[in-house]
């Protein structure tokens, strides 16, 4: 099991790490109780600053997906993110759909893009 980081991606590295780990949790590959590797190991592997990975872990902890204990490391604590309001969840989806509409895709194609992405996300073949 691994996460992928792209230097040319517009998202900051810590955000990519957060998104990758979230995807693994969503897919059920990272189950509750699974230990994440120490910050030092991930930072060394990806060749980034320790703080970058520490920030990513803090972000995941803030969302209630992992618990970081001093000395014991990070453990996946839940497979569902902390409660967000309906509107908070819909907002990024709305923004993404707007992009698709503006790109001139017809309604049926947008629907197939959405189901496609969802299937990919849950199965893991991105």
Partner 1 sequence: MSKTLILLLGFDLLMLAVFMFVPVMRGEDAFFGVRVSPEVYRNEGRRLLHRYWLWLFLIFIQIEVIGLLVSFYKGRTEFAQIAPRFLFLPCVMLFYVIFYRQAKRLELVEEHQRFASSLKTRRLADYTNLALEIAIVILTIAPILVLVYYYPQLPERIPTHWNWKGEPDEWARKSYYAVFSLAAMLVYMQGLILIIKHGLLGVKMTLPAEHAEDYLRLKEAALALTVRFMDWMRLLLCIMLGSLATNIAFSAVEHLRFLSRVVTVAAWAAGLLMFAAIAFAIYRFYRIDRRLKSEVGRVYVQRQRDAAHWYLGGLIYFNREDPALWVEKLVGWGYTCNLGNKWVYAYITLMIGIPLLLVLPLES
- Indicate whether 117 belongs to the interface with partner 1 (CB under 8 A): no
Binding region for partner 1 (CB under 8 A) out of 4-12, 59-67, 89-97, 110-118: 4-12
- Indicate whether 49 belongs to the interface with partner 1 (CB under 8 A): yes
Three-class SS of residue 87? helix
Cα 66 to chain center, whole Å?
12
Contacts of 108 (CB under 8 A, 6+ apart): none
Binding region for partner 1 (CB under 8 A) out of 47-55, 59-67, 96-104, 112-120: 47-55
Q: Which residues are at the interface with partner 1 (CB under 8 A)?
A: 1-8, 21, 24, 30, 35-38, 40-47, 49-50, 73
């Amino acid at each position: 099991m691994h996460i992928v980081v792209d230097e040319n991606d517009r998202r900051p590295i810590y955000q990519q790490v957060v998104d990758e780990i979230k995807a693994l949790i969503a897919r059920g590959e990272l189950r509750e109780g699974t230990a994440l590797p120490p910050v030092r190991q991930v930072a060394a592997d990806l060749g980034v600053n320790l703080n970058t990975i520490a920030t990513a872990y803090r972000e995941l902890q803030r969302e209630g997906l992992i618990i970081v204990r001093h000395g014991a490391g990070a453990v996946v604590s839940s497979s569902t993110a902390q409660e967000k309001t309906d509107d908070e969840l819909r907002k990024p989806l709305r923004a993404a759909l707007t992009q698709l509409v503006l790109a001139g895709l017809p309604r049926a194609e947008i629907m197939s893009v959405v189901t496609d992405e969802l299937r990919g996300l849950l199965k893991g073949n991105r």
